[in-house]
Structures are given as structure tokens and as C-alpha cells.
């Protein structure tokens, strides 16, 4: 796990956008939780819009990093999954509550959609969340058609749902292609398109996107993990 260096902590307080962005790029759950705690404390009793947005960003980051850990647990690890599920929901609910007090923007509607997405943990079958999530992401694109992150959010159900609930890998790839036309180095789009290619059996394209994600962010833990998992047997012990 990569943690923030003392110099970064001193340069930017835990509730700053710089600190939260660094925690996001390093996949650092400890720093994400520190940011959320600091933002919650600083935003208490105030209506500062920037503080509220940073609190929402920190809440989303905590929920997303916990979600990664949740997905890595075996279904037999019921206690740990329940504990992480509660942590995800608490962070997501705090972020959603904070967004309700902020003026509407494309970025904030996209964050709303992603917060709702973290609460869906059953192959995107939770229709009450999926529909609201899609509506928020669609609204984000109405406000800013160039919001590539919102396009990525709309692609998620097509990738992660099961076949009975709307899985459509071709549509997922098409939407992620669209997001990458807007932002060719968008890490989330590269990661999700890599997963879609892998599900389609296109290992070469999958690995190309994973390498591109690592080029954009050398600390991209999911890309590194999937590169190791998809390496040819004869190359699995060799540097990629």
C-alpha cells in the first residue's frame, strides 16, 4: 500500500483537494479516511460550498476504496463483507446528504451517481439505486456533455450487471470508447474497458488498456493486479 509522504501532508491539509486527489491516485484508504474525518469536522456548522464539495469527494473515495476491498473478499467471509458494506453505505450516505445542500453542477450530479453506485453490490440488480444512479449521470451529461466521468458511470451497469439484468459488453465498450475520446488518459475508463475486453476474451486489448492506465498513473493498483492476473503463464514471473 502507498501512503502519503509527510511533505505532502504538510503541504496540503487533509480536507484540501490536493490531499484528496493524491489519496485517490495512490489508492490510500488511510489517507482517504483522514480526509473524510477532517472535512466532516471542518464542514460542521458551515455552508462553505468548497468544503462541502471536498467532503463529498472524500466520502466517495472512502466508499470506492472500501468497495474494492469488498469485491476482493470471498462470499464466505460474511462478517467482513457486512462490516465493509456498512462502511461503504455510511460514507455514501454522508456524501449524498452533503450533495443535497450544494447547488447543482455536472460534477456533483456525477458524484451523486457514483455514490449511489457504491451502494449496489449485487450485479447491479438493486433497481431502486440503479435507476436513480442512471438519472443522476444522465443529468450530469445534460449539464456538461463533455463530462467523461459521467459517461464512465453510465457504462458501469452494462459491464457489471448479469445477463438477466442488462449486461451488454459491446455497449459498455462503446460508451467507454466515447469517454476516452473526450479524455484519452482517463484512468477509470481505461480500467473498465480493460475489464470489458477481458470478459470478451480479448486479453491483448485488455492488457493494453491496463498498461495505459499504469502509464497515466503508476500507482494504479487495480491495473497492476489485473496485469499480473492476465499475464501468460510463461511470463507470469517476469516483469511486464
In a domain, 110, yes or no: no
Same domain, 64 and 89: yes
In a domain, 84, yes or no: yes
Same domain, 94 and 177: no
Q: How many domains does the chain have?
A: 3
What is the reported pLDDT for 24?
97
φ/ψ region of 144 (left if φ > 0, alpha if ψ in -120 to 50, else beta) reads beta
Same domain, 53 and 149: no
Is 0.85 surpassed by the pTM of this model? yes
C-alpha distance from residue 70 to each of 63, 83, 99, 120, 148 (Å): 10, 9, 25, 12, 26
User: In the listed set 182, 202, 219, which residue is the last one of a domain according to the structure?
Assistant: 182
What is the reported pLDDT for 232?
86
**Measured between alpha carbons, how far is 234 from 230 in angstroms, rounded to an integer?**
11
User: Do 118 and 109 meet the contact criterion of CB atoms below 8 Å apart?
Assistant: no
What is the reported pLDDT for 4?
44
Same domain, 165 and 192: no
**Measured between alpha carbons, how far is 16 from 42 in angstroms, rounded to an integer?**
11
**Measured between alpha carbons, how far is 183 from 179 in angstroms, rounded to an integer?**
6
What is the reported pLDDT for 7?
40
**pLDDT of the chain along its 240 residues, tens only?**
344 444 444 457 999 999 999 999 999 999 999 999 999 999 988 889 999 999 999 999 999 999 999 988 999 999 999 999 999 999 999 999 999 999 999 999 999 999 999 998 765 556 778 899 999 999 999 999 999 999 999 999 999 988 888 899 999 999 999 999 999 999 999 999 999 999 999 999 999 999 999 999 999 999 999 999 999 887 545 555
Q: Within a 10 A sphere around the Cβ of 161, how many other Cβ atoms? A: 19
Same domain, 138 and 232: no
User: In the listed set 103, 129, 155, which residue is the last one of a domain according to the structure?
Assistant: 103
12: exposed, middle or buried (C-beta count within 10 Å: 0-12, 13-18, 19+)?
middle
Same domain, 201 and 229: yes
Q: Within a 10 A sphere around the Cβ of 71, how many other Cβ atoms? A: 11
What is the extent of the structural domain holding 202?
184-240
In a domain, 61, yes or no: yes
Same domain, 83 and 41: yes
| Cβ contacts of 103 within 8 Å, gap of 6 or more | 49
**Measured between alpha carbons, how far is 183 from 33 in angstroms, rounded to an integer?**
28
Same domain, 161 and 197: no
Same domain, 96 and 16: yes
Amino acid at each position: 500500500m502507498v501512503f502519503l509522504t509527510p511533505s505532502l501532508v504538510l503541504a496540503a491539509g487533509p480536507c484540501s483537494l490536493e490531499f484528496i486527489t493524491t489519496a485517490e491516485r495512490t489508492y490510500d484508504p488511510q489517507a482517504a479516511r483522514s480526509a473524510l474525518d477532517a472535512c466532516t469536522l471542518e464542514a460542521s456548522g458551515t455552508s462553505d460550498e468548497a468544503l462541502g464539495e471536498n467532503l463529498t469527494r472524500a466520502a466517495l473515495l472512502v466508499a470506492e476504496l472500501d468497495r474494492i476491498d469488498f469485491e476482493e473478499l470471498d462470499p464466505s467471509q460474511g462478517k467482513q463483507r457486512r462490516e465493509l458494506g456498512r462502511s461503504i453505505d455510511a460514507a455514501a450516505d454522508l456524501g449524498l446528504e452533503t450533495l443535497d445542500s450544494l447547488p447543482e453542477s455536472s460534477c456533483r450530479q456525477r458524484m451523486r451517481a457514483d455514490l449511489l453506485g457504491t451502494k449496489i453490490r449485487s450485479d447491479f440488480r438493486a433497481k431502486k439505486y440503479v435507476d436513480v444512479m442512471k438519472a443522476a449521470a444522465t443529468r450530469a451529461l445534460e449539464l456538461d456533455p463533455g463530462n467523461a466521468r459521467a459517461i464512465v458511470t453510465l457504462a458501469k451497469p452494462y459491464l457489471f450487471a448479469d445477463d438477466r439484468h442488462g449486461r451488454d459488453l459491446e455497449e459498455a465498450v462503446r460508451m467507454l470508447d466515447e469517454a476516452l475520446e473526450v479524455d484519452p488518459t482517463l484512468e477509470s475508463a481505461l480500467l473498465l474497458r480493460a475489464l470489458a475486453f477481458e470478459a470478451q476474451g480479448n486479453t491483448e486489448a485488455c492488457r493494453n488498456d491496463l498498461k495505459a492506465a499504469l502509464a497515466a498513473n503508476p500507482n494504479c493498483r487495480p491495473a497492476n493486479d489485473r496485469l499480473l492476473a492476465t499475464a501468460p503463464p510463461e511470463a507470469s514471473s517476469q516483469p511486464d
